[in-house]
Amino acid sequence: MAGLYIHIPFCKQACYYCDFFFSTRQDQRTAVVRAIASEIALEKNYLNGEALETIYFGGGTPSILLPEELDAILSAIHANFSIVESPEITLEGNPDDLTKEKLDYLLKAGVNRLSIGVQSFDDTILKSLNRAHDNRMARGCIDGAGNTGFKNISIDLIYGIPGRTDEDWEKDIHQAIGFAPQHISSYSLTIEEKTVFGKWTKQGKMKPVDDDVAARQLNILIDNLEREHYEQYEVSNFSKPGFQSRHNSNYWKNRIYLGVGPSAHSYNGQSRQYNLSNNSIYLRSIQQGKIPFTLETLSREDKINEYLLTTLRTSWGADLRVLREQFSLDILSENSDYIQDLQHKGYIVIEDSVLRLTRQGRFFADKIASDLFVVSDNLRS
């Protein structure tokens, strides 16, 4: 079984922190949607006939699409792929788009999971991030989604925002918990160079928070969510039992997927292909029947390192048998001193040949994974 990701590269306005690929020009939107439908047909054999278990509309802002635009993409999917009996169909949406009519339409169209970009319930913070919604819209949208009949709702929140206190952050968490969503995703604000915040930081007008502030706020989040019986199944993702994101979990379990739309990428187990991040070139190319992408064939080392980077962030951890059987790698003997040190610090546990990070260890997930990376013989000095 496989996944399909559809990148909708349009937003109403640019949030000051965001470096995803999107355009705020809406005049190309219908043409890009048509091109995405064509790309789906062009790529119908990419997944080798595997049925779609998950479909994920991400972006950008998929909730900006008109019903007829979303219908065009869904029709192309149904015409070109088989879909399992109970697929997970997620759509990322912003509170300012998700009106009662839009929610009704989405549910009827088959979307069964909503990922709502709330980020904060505090109007001052929302303004400072240049979000297009306010607290009232966020609350109305989450209530509206539940009343419409959505039974799988995820809320996105951001922590580590400069100038914001731990108390402010905890208020946001409590407001989110008050809606009892099935899932919460939360990322620390990172300052990306080509964003407004990146520019302000370079000019000295803004100072990113220290790592220990971000770690403390993540800790506050985990404490609060654990009390409400959410499981931290990935460093930044928390769910009620049975509501882990199937689509994202499949990325972390190394399953194959097709990504369509400008900037989307795809993985077939052997290589990754990256679509170009440019709407005009994407359009012209698809109109000529060609998908504009670059291809990266994955080496043994790439596959091992990706496996470590993704699985160590999850609650199911890295299976040492997979590393031994698929990659002839005995990670314990190759890193015995380092592994012992991590065990001693209480950052990892090894049980039944599975290496997992403890709650404490997850704060350093990416660092630990990169310390365990293998280097190609060609690159050794």
> Given the complex with ligand SF4, which of 15 and 89 has the nearer CB atom?
15
- CA distance linking residue 89 with residue 291, whole number of Å: 24
Of 3, 117, 198, 259, which one interacts with ligand SF4 (CB under 6 A)?
A: 117
Site string for ligand SF4, 183-222 (x = CB under 6 A): ----------------------------------------
> Given the complex with ligand SF4, which of 60 and 261 has the nearer CB atom?
60
**18 φ/ψ angles, rounded to the nearest 5 degrees:** -90, 130
Of 29, 33, 55, 59, which one interacts with ligand SF4 (CB under 6 A)?
A: 59
Residues 121-150 that bind ligand SF4 (CB under 6 A): none
* Minimum distance, C-beta of residue 261 to ligand SF4, in the bound complex (Å): 13
Number of residues that bind ligand SF4 (CB under 6 A): 11
**Does 61 participate in binding ligand SF4 (rule CB under 6 A)?**
yes
**Does 56 participate in binding ligand SF4 (rule CB under 6 A)?**
no
- CA distance linking residue 156 with residue 120, whole number of Å: 8
Site string for ligand SF4, 12-51 (x = CB under 6 A): --xx--x-x-x-----------------------------
> Given the complex with ligand SF4, which of 262 and 361 has the nearer CB atom?
262
> Given the complex with ligand SF4, which of 158 and 329 has the nearer CB atom?
158
Cα torsion through 176, 179, 183, 188, rounded to 10: -10
> Given the complex with ligand SF4, which of 14 and 206 has the nearer CB atom?
14
Quick check: 154 and 113 in contact, CB under 8 A? yes
Closest among 318, 366, 264 to 58, alpha carbons compared: 264
Burial of 127 (0-12, 13-18, 19+ CB in 10 A): exposed
Going along 107-160, which residue ranges are E strands? 113-119, 153-159
* Secondary structure tally for the chain: helices H, strands E: 16, 15
Three-class SS state of 140:
helix
Strand partners, 98: none
- Chain residues that interact with ligand SF4, rule: CB under 6 A: 11, 14-15, 18, 20, 22, 59-61, 94, 117
